[in-house]
Structure 1
């Protein structure tokens, strides 16, 4: 198969022998093989929906997209290994091409558009996917009319995150057996997602079951406590729940990472919870008397703050059920 040139700067010195070492042997001709250390995270299947496939870099305030529709399958994996982003990405790209897909667009972090590109494209929310703005690789590809794939790989500390989005197609994905001295990975992608941050579809059921849940997908303006946009799926689901049950009250709690002092983080987390409360009031008409806001700063982390992936997971707003008045 003809080697595609991704970027002269990025791929200088990459050889097929290196690619063979990077990933374990393909299990069957139809399988997409991941590194043996890969652990499945999200598995989100939509039977039919529109989807915008990125086909160029961030420019003039937007990423060019190709609108398509069909079954949409979003899957993510965590790869704990010493491999670089490119060492994980390159074999997966080669396997996608071997399956007849033609590359539409591919880029690395700065070439894509960095921060702006990442927040313009579809990314599964943390903790099931994490993107370092300075260390990620992306591609989009098409096989035939209506069949598209996007691949996103990013490294945080000692961990790589892999996101595969398929539109109108589905590739079997296998994780080969690990060496005897390696930690045993999960053997196959499960049919049900291992969800730790609420998918909007399940937000209400999780909230009723656990009494609290993370509001997924929220995006705050850089250096600001204000939400960067509106129409977040998690807020729409929460607002629908509160509109249906007019006696229900909730507490919105902001959380931060450990960068900075405690008092400043408590103030920032409270301000972000207030921003969510205002959007529930102003856009969805939820009465102020049914909404409370508080800030916990970094007092209640979900995971370690030692690396960027953990810090991104810990920066969040949760909703907590309160007794009806």
Structure 2
């Protein structure tokens, strides 16, 4: 067996020599250093025996190196060699893994910490099974623990990437700072802030809310009716939303950078709560869920209307979100607001959506004779909303004449056609009553076409089905209105 020799130097250091840029395990001489870090005092978690996480605080050093394939180094041999040399110097191995290693064990210590700024280049989340390993070792000198962690990864090219960390536990250095004893803190006063720009042309505040001092409207938009995906919970596998519909007003404000997004968030939450709103959901970026704004709005009109970079807003971004609701005599009000600041030098963005819930008013739409023919040819039937009746009666309203004219025109042009005239109702009220009302209304349409338009009686047959064939669930006024209709169904010939 050929024994591989590595040009790593292992140095056993005193506390004083550590401060002179020395390392417990020196860098590989033939490697390229991609990143370095040195902090005089930092807290660090170290992998310990039995899945322990040992917290040490002291002087921290780290580096990340890449070693060319020509060096012919294997990650497992490198780790074994370093382990042996550390143990020879009195270090106790805590964790040593070179086969079937769980990358998450290492990643959980590094990800989303200051350590990631050096070690992210390792790609420790993007590793192949059995092509990486890691170790941790500890030693106590003068009652002060020291620790080493090393991660080694075999690249597809045959080269090697390694990430090294060490921590020497020390008392926190005294920086000799003094604090002014009689310093007084002035209360924050946002009221004196001045807007840096004018409002976008044609934009205006919504009557519901007052703008934040020193803000201006960058963009806005209004829809008379739009379905809106209101966020009501944390994004895990899916985003919990409540779809509400109504007039939607969107306002994108820009606010002085010194305010910060959290102050904006809390001020509006407090103001709305005092105005009788109930908070449905509140979160900060990490607790909201990764890419919650992107995934909630990207297939909607609001992705563009928000005029905000929702595609790059992650759980690491500096933003806050809440949604709220309030019952009013005229219907329900909803609002969704999120405030964010990309960088400390940039303005705070506040995106406000106000939803005034209301149903879609169905206008009586008359279908002309040509479209009657097309619809019956395609589906064998056509639903009509242009025939209207007095409440709870079978009397046809005068406003229905235009639709009756088109039906008569169609039947006059196509004398070969016979139709079922079918009456439908919603499910409000007794079944027998609705069935009878639907039959009487269908018969009244037949009678009118025969009497006023001279359509042959034998070509029309009235049928009342009441509530048994709805087009939509009878769960709101809009759907119930859709179900109250007259339908023409082809009776003969079999095909048009």
Q: Identify the TM-score tier after normalising by the shorter chain.
A: 0.3 to 0.5
Higher relative strand content: 2
Q: Who wins on radius of gyration, i.e. which is larger?
A: 2
TM-score (norm. length: structure 2): 0.30
